[in-house]
Structure 1
Amino acid sequence: MKIEGSVALVTGANRGIGEIFVRELLRRGAKKVYAGARDIASLGAVVTNDRRIVPLEVDVTNPDQVDGAVATAQDLTLLINNAGMAGWQGVLSAPDVKIARDEMEVNYFGVLLMSRAFAPILAANGGGAIVNILSMLSLVTLPAAGTYSASKAAALALTRSLRAELKHRGTAVIATLPVQVETAMGQPLPEPRLKPEEVVLDTLDGVERGTAEVFPGALTRNVAEAFEASPKAVQAQLSEMLPAMGGSVANSGFL
């Protein structure tokens, strides 16, 4: 699909990758961009004098707010499920399972709720596209971020199922799988890190080309090539990166 003339909704638009998505969508000629955030006040500088930006309060884990977003964005043609969270903890070293549940709620169930809610809207408006911002940890497991890895793996399985189910409706479903990114959420991870702009530019290029799974930036592509050559070797390397007791992140390179 073409970005020019589209109507997009970006969740988690208040900072990082989400904020860059809003800017780049407008630069590419989007007709309207719904900037979604749990707290509209947090959008701050994202909401400019550009009338094409529509602030939208939406917590992707709250079914009532998701329904409210659907009621508002009836003209949607492009859904970007960008909202995410990471606790950076191991499976056993974490003090409890609260963070694991939160990660699954946002990273998996949030994507599921938003996609189910907007699929009929997209179909009615000609098909459009759903973009899910995932991670290379959808494909490999980093024990230092074990519960996050699990939530992103679940989200990739969901994305592939959505792609199959929505094909007959003309809705493209794209997964973006970056390594570590220079955002507030990515700060615990080591350098080098991708720039958010790399993720956004390559993702939107992928949308326009109809690419099913995007590996944005040279850093991600290098890892993806290594994974394609030997998935077991990459997983074996990551399996050595264990969490410290108490759930802190060990040295890793895969967000």
Structure 2
Amino acid sequence: MNLEGAVVLVTGANRGIGAAFVDQLKQRGARKIYAGARDIETLDAQGVHPLELDVTDADHIDAAARAAGDVQVLINNAGISTGTALVTGAEANIRRELDTNFYGPLLMTRAFAPVLAGNGGGALLNVISALSWFTAPGAGAYAASKAAAWMLTDSTRLELAAQGTHVVGVHMGMVDTDMVRDIQGPKVAPADLASAGLDAIESGAQEVLGDDWARFVKSGLTLAPGARYEQILAALAA
């Protein structure tokens, strides 16, 4: 799909990866960009169509689908991390992460699948994480929500194939955003990750491994759990 002249909706477009997607789409000549954010006053980008959009609010999603009936590409980027463990962490935080990181893109997909079909099929991109394939202390809720988002992406790809919708999943380690500003380690630039995701839409690729960490983690998925986590924890400690 050629993004030049396309109509695109980006969730969580006010900062970080979402803002980078908006910038990259402008550079590629997108005709119209709907920028979704819970507070549209936080949107700095010029020349976009702001949408008040909390992906955990069904009324917001329904209103967005009505207002943006010309969308050809949906980018499910909005996400949160609360640093909550599954066994001992607050249940409310676990539910917040699942509501935002799994149910948010699920409900957006359900609302916009008919829109994409009506506009020729188009494309759908989910920003996931390498943490869909492993977890670490304090990341249980986030990892569970991203693992669910990974399977959502696979299921969506199969279910929407008949209507011609191309589905992309983007996995990465740490991205240089506010979410991980206090964590040390290699970080990919938001612009580089957004560019790789848009490249996949244009090339027809189904999955993006956005950095070395994502490639490393996925390469170990065939290992037994003990061996896989021994490898991952050793890499984290290095």
TM range (shorter): over 0.9
Q: Cα offset for 1:98?
A: 1.2
Kindly provide the CA deviation profile for residues 140-197 of structure 1, in whole angstroms up to 9, marking residues without a partner as x: 2223301110000011111111100000000011100111111011224321111111
Q: Which shows bigger deviation, 201-210 or 136-145? A: 136-145
For the residue of structure 1 that corresponds to 2:33, the secondary structure is strand
Rounded to whole Å, the distance in 2 between the matches of 1:197 and 1:18 is 9
Report if aligned partners of 1:141, 1:238 keep a CA contact under 8 Å in 2.
Answer: no
Quick check: 1:181–1:195 contact (8 Å CA) kept in 2? Answer: yes
Range 55-64 or range 135-144, more displaced: 135-144
**Which residue is 1:5 aligned to?**
5
Between the aligned residues of both structures, percent identity stands at 44
Change (3 A) 1:240 1:65: same
1:236 paired with 2:230, answer yes
Cα distance change, pair 98–252 in 1 and its aligned pair in 2 (3 A): farther
Give the superposed CA RMSD.
Answer: 2.0
Q: Which of 49, 64, 67 does residue 62 from structure 2 map onto?
A: 67
Classify 1:252/1:86 alpha carbon distance in 2 versus 1 (closer, same or farther; 3 Å): farther
Structure 1 residue 89 displacement after superposition: 2.3
Q: Does 1:220 align with 2:184?
A: no
Indicate whether 1:150 and 2:156 are aligned: no
Deviation at 1:3, TM superposition (A): 1.0
With 229-238 and 53-62 compared, the bigger mean Cα shift is at 229-238
The answer to whether the 8 Å contact 1:143/1:238 transfers is no
Q: Secondary structure in 2 aligned to 1:112?
A: helix
- The equivalent residue for 1:89 is 84
Contact 1:133 1:176 in 2 (8 A): yes
SS in 2 for 1:130: strand
Task: Tell me which amino acid in the other structure corresponds to 2:14.
Answer: N
Measured after TM superposition, the shift of residue 223 of structure 1 is 4.1
Look up the match of 2:40. 40
Q: Which residue of 1 aligns with 2:51?
A: 56
Please say if 1:128 is aligned against 2:122.
yes
Change (3 A) 1:19 1:170: same
1:100 aligns with 2:99: no
Provide Cα deviations, 1:45-81, integer angstroms capped at 9, x if missing partner: 22x2x3xx10111111111110110111010000000
Provide the C-alpha distance between the structure 2 equivalents of 1:196 and 1:26, rounded to a whole number of angstroms.
Answer: 15
Compared with structure 1, are the counterparts of its residues 204 and 76 closer, same or farther at alpha carbon in structure 2 (3 Å cutoff)?
Answer: same
Gapped regions of structure 2 (runs ≥ 5):
none
TM (normalized to structure 2)? 0.93
Find the aligned partners of 2:121 and 2:182 in 1 and give their Cα distance.
38
CA contact (8 A) 1:142 1:238 kept: no
Q: Which residue of 2 aligns with 1:17?
A: 17
Question: Which of 62, 68, 80 is 2:75 aligned to?
Answer: 80
**1:20 shift after superposition:** 0.6
